Structure 1
């Protein structure tokens, strides 16, 4: 049902859907090299300008293919959740072209507000339409220019569109500010880890005296016991659903620092008939395959797959200090994998990790400081998630007319 005073029309009645330039053309007359946007630059409702490529085009065609202020950029394909999600071009780079897999929708501004259209395309209403007509494969989907032209746009009067855009802009500003705070907190924690975990910055003990005892270098194998897990035969139903948490890489990426529940569980029979073994509470779980370098802590007794190393610190090593130390190595470990130095880890490699270790009290003091950082980050992340969910719900109300806004006379 169309709200009173609104109309529903196909997008091509209110906007021009423009295709971009194709890469790789040769024999161009009077070519000019110009920046252009690829699919990678138009992602999840945002325009990412961190890496811009260039393309050659004939000078006489520059005007035809250049983006203009107010163009709404939409991808031809992508993840189901991101399909059709665009953003408004604000002439951040001038001139700038767009790839033929990125559409530029140019609204008639007196009838259709660019920011309103971008919000509508990104809303549940827009997502539902694009998925209904998209060509799908696995987790990806694609749409063509005809389907964008046929997008049934719900159009309130232009003054109401502008008011809706203003309301959503307020939420966007709150989200942006929270994202900035979150990013700053994450960077501050990273810098603090570099200082504290190397002894460059020393803390005060419970008596207010700065720690001064010399740190000692150990091989991780000398101060912790470790072994990888295992996977019982999936064909034996009696090995599964027994309540013993079985940690996978997915569980680690989903839960983060602390793991107490898992997607799958094992029975005692499953543990006995596989290389999986029980890890006690506070075992460090370290990913050796796929998401190498990811790290979690077992909050309860768990088992794990063979892709995960269970590390049990000895009395001289505080488990949270080890967790933060391994987290500090993550970027370096991942970079090695990306460069092909070593795509996976193994227990032998981890056992050879060198760790510079203060006494136990200083380890605990360092862990306490970094835990406070984690708590601040968690609060900001929850606030950000809440703001995004509230905006999403508000969009569903405002962009379908279920909730009307007051427009000044």
Structure 2
């Protein structure tokens, strides 16, 4: 954890609660979600707070009465930190900069409003440095899958107090550095986005040659293509199957049989180093799904990844989350794998995914997938060309992802260095010099005086009334109903992912089973629409 000894020697420090006002936002409840229409206001939640940036594209609404508007309205320079988030992201911070003009915040966020002697930009830099260095992660308390920063724990952290002239110089320096890093990260992101989409487009171009996806039985004489179902392009004695239902504990005594799960498929390859092993007796019971070199594997739970079985995995097996497709002598393994990975085939398969929390394919759908079949020599020529494309793409991706990781590491290091590290020490000497200690002490005195006045300030009538009524605050619920889920979705400004929907319902962790049971019931009743923009994300909305 960050300790005062890590701050420049000439600086003084106080506690976060003395450096500024801290406040947790308004909680969603039946009262705030069903209040008068005139009280509806846009507000920020965790999904809107990125590192050093607010995402204002998807603002939700809830009711803020006049007292709540006065209490929770943001002003220019307010800093928002994620109170509840995954441990590595908890405390992620960004600043509100007066856009839009009227905006509020939810109780999943903590607002920090800096003391007049502290530049808000400097405070943001300090909090970003804390988050990058793991200070917030260290003090956070974790539930099942979310870590909570906690207002009181946040308030008790030390906060550095450099002279004002030093704060201004630090902010200018940090912004110049951040701008250069942001430009470089944007360039790397653009390269990665284009590289990711390249193989799918190349597969569509070389395999389909501009034609549409055909129906099984259709013959295209111009392209010399016959469309067949996937079930008709496999070896006669090897139908499309999935594998072991319960592989049991991992066998690590050298006698185990390796098996492939959906998560073991990546970028067209099988991650052999992470394969688990099942017992020989279980593998024998599922001999029908054992593997041969050249078999094509397709993930059928959540991800639709594809890979070809290499020589060294002959005799291995698969799980129920993976389908084995053994091409006949008339179909090339690489060609079939490229077709399964094409944008056209992936879109066809993705449209048939079923389920919300664990979307999957039925083998019936896999068997019905249209496959364009050419003569074997043409298949191999196309596969060789696509192998070259994917190899080049992987090289570009590795380089761009490596550069991105280095830039992000540099960003973390420089954020801490500017906030209170070596860069801060150098700037302190260049700006305040010998007066650094006295100027920092002066700020500390002013901060302490203001904090003391706030502590001694008589509680207002509204605050006393609020204290008396604390027992009426809404607590997290242990269960939910389909009707409550529909009500939240109907009030949302757009589709919600399951985790966001769970938070909007103000549910405790123990309500997970009830939550997903209600989702399944609504899905069966066709009251929900489920969209999957990619292999991992799920967006839920009310069916029209």
Where on the TM-score scale, by shorter chain, does this alignment land: which range? 0.7 to 0.9
The offset of 1:158, in angstroms, is 0.8
How many residues in Structure 1 have an aligned counterpart in Structure 2? Answer: 393
Query: 3-state DSSP class of the match of 1:9?
Result: strand
Residue among 256, 266, 272 paired with 2:277: 266
1:161-182 deviation digits (Å, cap 9, x = unpaired): 3224433443233223211332
Per the alignment, in what secondary structure is the counterpart of residue 92 of structure 2? coil
Structure 1 segment 92-107 matched on structure 2, within 5 A: 92-107=99-114
Matches within 5 A, 1:304-315: 304-315=318-329
Partner deviation per Cα, 1:121-174 (whole Å, 9 max, x = no partner): 3212xx33x334333223322133222222223454414532244334432332
TM-score by length of 2: 0.62
- Counterpart for residue 40 of structure 2: 33
Deviation at 1:335, TM superposition (A): 4.9
Stretches of structure 2 that go unaligned for 5 or more consecutive residues are 213-220, 432-544
- Aligned equivalents of 2:276 and 2:68: distance in 1? 61
What does 1:227-266 align with in structure 2 at a 5 Å threshold?
Answer: 227-230=241-244, 234=248, 242=255, 245-252=258-265, 255-266=266-277
Q: In 1, Cα distance between the equivalents of 2:147 and 2:116?
A: 30
Question: In the TM superposition, what is the alpha-carbon distance from 1:216 to its structure 2 partner?
Answer: 1.6
2:36/2:63 contact within 8 Å kept: no
SS in 2 for 1:25: helix
Aligned to 2:447: none
Question: What TM-score results when the alignment is normalised by the length of structure 1?
Answer: 0.80
**Secondary structure of the equivalent of 1:67?**
coil
Greater alpha carbon shift after TM alignment, 186-195 vs 372-381:
186-195
The counterpart of 1:286, out of the listed 265, 277, 298, is 298
Q: Could you tell me whether the CA contact under 8 Å between 1:33 and 1:56 is conserved in 2?
A: yes
Equivalent of 1:51 in 41, 45, 58 = 58
Change (3 A) 1:85 1:364: same
Please point out which of 84, 92, 95 is paired with 2:91: 84
Structure 1 spans left out of the alignment, 5+ residues: 203-210
Equivalent-residue separation in structure 2 for 1:42 and 1:114 (angstroms): 16
- Once the 2 structures are TM-superposed, how far is the Cα of residue 36 of structure 1 from its aligned partner? 1.3
2: CA distance between counterparts of 1:229 and 1:29? 55
Q: How does 1:9-408 map to 2 (within 5 A)?
A: 9-23=14-28, 24-25=30-31, 31-42=38-49, 47-58=54-65, 62=69, 64-108=71-115, 110-112=117-119, 113-124=122-133, 127-128=134-135, 130-156=136-162, 157-159=166-168, 161-162=170-171, 163-187=173-197, 189-200=199-210, 213-225=223-235, 226-230=240-244, 234=248, 242=255, 245-252=258-265, 255-266=266-277, 269=280, 272-275=283-286, 278-289=290-301, 291-299=302-310, 300-301=312-313, 302-327=316-341, 328=343, 329-331=345-347, 333-337=349-353, 343-358=359-374, 359-360=378-379, 361-395=381-415, 397-401=417-421, 404=424, 406-407=426-427
Q: Deviations over 1:219-238 (max 9, x none)?
A: 11222354323267535x75
The structure whose Rg is larger is: 2
Name the structure 2 match of 1:5.
10
Deviation at 1:77, TM superposition (A): 0.9
Does structure 2 retain, via aligned residues, the 8 Å contact 1:239–1:269? no
Q: Which residue of 2 aligns with 1:208?
A: none
Instruction: Looking at secondary structure, tell me which structure has more strand per residue.
Output: 1
User: In angstroms, what is the RMSD of aligned CA positions?
Assistant: 3.6
Distance 1:270 1:383, change over 3 A: farther
Q: Report Cα offsets for 1:327-350 as digits up to 9, x if no partner.
A: 32445544543676x943233331
